[in-house]
Structure 1
Amino acid sequence: MDRNLLLAAGAGYLSGSISFALLVARAKGVDLRAHGSGNPGATNAGRVLGRKYGVLVYLLDALKGALPAGVSLILGWPPSAAVLGAAGAFAGHLWPIWFGFRGGKGVATYSGAMLVLAPGALLAGAVAFLVVVLATRVVALGSLALGIVTPAALRLLDPTAATGERAPVFAFAAVGGALFFLTHRRNLARLLARRKEGA
């Protein structure tokens, strides 16, 4: 394998493993894992620390996904290096080596990566996220909509995305979006439990 591919993936993973939610909360004297949902992500940071801190964490987490992909492209490395850098950052956010492999849900990091790799598809996913959240007031459902619509939009915008030169981008978009169902499994379980209670 090309050394640049390994470097992109490794650097992406190590940088993705930085949990800005935990670091920002720690600077405020708060252990985020012991408050709110306990999730080290932007949504919980916003709930526990306040909206402005949630936005700050979201932007920093998005930057984790955007930087490895963007720097790889700026350096003239193969497009696959950009995808591997993004995938590494995404994996690092989900399973951070610095924080016991217990990370966030990956929505912001995925969004930052897709902003670089396929901005048009991300825009469609972001619209779906906003529509669902406004309709349901449930961020988790909006995140799932983002994960479904983004790869679907990529395929619609480029019918050859799954098999052509952009296949690695499509694979990242699809696999990353599918992983949202795993990272949001507790949210889904709670929603189903509430629905059964209300039935």
Structure 2
Amino acid sequence: MLQFSLYLILAYLLGSIPSAVLYGRIFHGVDVREHGSGNAGATNSLRVLGKRAGLAVLIIDVLKGVLAVQIPHFFFTNEADTLIIFGFAAVIGHLLPVFANFRGGKGVATSFGIILALQPLAAVFVLVVFLAVVYTSKYVSLASLSASFSFLVYCFWQMPGQRFYHLMCLVLFLLLVFTHRQNIKRLVRGEENKYPPK
């Protein structure tokens, strides 16, 4: 139980690394949360700080999810049900980072990192869905939600009988829906920002 708790804390702390905030402050002297959508994530970094910032933040945020799962996988357990809990802790860290006054991002890239670490084939499926929706709609938020839902479908389809794993996938999807609640409202009203902007 002690080891589990330590890896859970480690996963949360990894998720709490505020990559968007750090990049903005170090290289641009700004807090990305005070600009654009106010979100400390890759998409807002891309829009506010440029492509280099968006890519750097994206890579780091994905790695947070990967490491939160892979470190305990190498040293503690290979149980999928346990590993997905560590991944979930990293997402919570990204949303509520202790290193950035609990004001974080929406958890999409870190969630993808978890998927990449746990289910590489599913990660390919999710990425294809994301890119297809972005290409056709130009809405990053819609693509993120669609990709998240596709992972939920994949879990039920390819991993029958693993009820706890299914539950965690469902909770992760609902959490991302919650973090995108304002985006959903704007999508419904036809006011959501597109990328690339016209």
Equivalent runs, 1:128-139 vs 2, <5 Å: 128-139=129-140
- TM-score normalised by the chain length of structure 2: 0.89
Is the Cα contact below 8 Å between 1:72 and 1:81 reproduced in 2?
A: no
- The residue identity in structure 2 corresponding to 1:129 is F
Correspondence for 2:22: 23
Q: Which residue of 2 aligns with 1:87?
A: 88
The equivalent position to 1:184 in structure 2, one of 180, 187, 191, is: 180
- CA-based RMSD of the aligned residues comes to 1.5
Contact 1:147 1:177 in 2 (8 A): yes
Q: Which residue of 1 aligns with 2:171?
A: 175
Residue type of the alignment partner of 1:181: V
User: Post-superposition shift, 1:108?
Assistant: 0.3
Deviations 1:164-195 (A, max 9, x none): xxx33x33322112211111111112222237
Once the two structures are TM-superposed, the CA of residue 78 in structure 1 deviates from its matched residue by: 4.8
In structure 2, the gaps of 5 or more residues are 192-198
The residue aligned with 1:157 is: 158
Deviation at 1:74, TM superposition (A): 0.8
2:190 to 159, 178, 194: 194
Whether contact under 8 Å (1:18, 1:96) holds in the other structure is yes
Tell me which amino acid in the other structure corresponds to 1:141: L
Show structure 1 runs of 5+ residues with no match.
none
The structural deviation recorded for 1:146 is: 1.1
Structure 2 residue aligned with 1:96: 97
Q: Distance in 2 between matches of 1:31 and 1:154?
A: 37
* Superposition deviation, residue 159 in structure 1: 1.9
Runs of 4+ in 1 over 4 A off after TM superposition: none
Distance 1:133 1:144 in 2: 11
Which amino acid in structure 2 is aligned with residue 89 of structure 1?
Answer: A
> Hey, what does 2:67 align to over in structure 1?
67
Give the match's secondary structure for 2:77.
coil
Give the drift of 1:82.
2.2
Distance 1:92 1:66, change over 3 A: same
Q: Aligned residue pairs: how many?
A: 189
Amino acid at match of 1:8: Y
Pairwise CA distance, 1:21: 0.3
8 Å Cα contact 1:125/1:146 also seen in 2: yes
Question: TM-score when scaled to structure 1?
Answer: 0.89
Q: 1:13 corresponds to which residue?
A: 12
Tell me the CA shift for residue 84 of structure 1.
2.4
The structure-2 alpha-carbon separation of the partners of 1:66 and 1:88, relative to structure 1 and needing over 3 Å to count, comes to same
User: d(CA) in 1 for partners of 2:91 and 2:46?
Assistant: 21
How much identity, in percent, do the aligned residues show?
Answer: 37
For 1:100-147, what per-residue CA distance to the aligned partner results, in whole angstroms no more than 9, with x for missing partners? 222100000000011111122222222111111111100000000011
- Counterpart in 2 of 1:33? 33
Listed one character per residue, the Cα deviations across residues 60-105 of structure 1 (whole Å, up to 9, x for unaligned) are: 0011111021011111425244222211111100111222222100
Name whichever of 185-194 and 40-49 sits farther off.
185-194
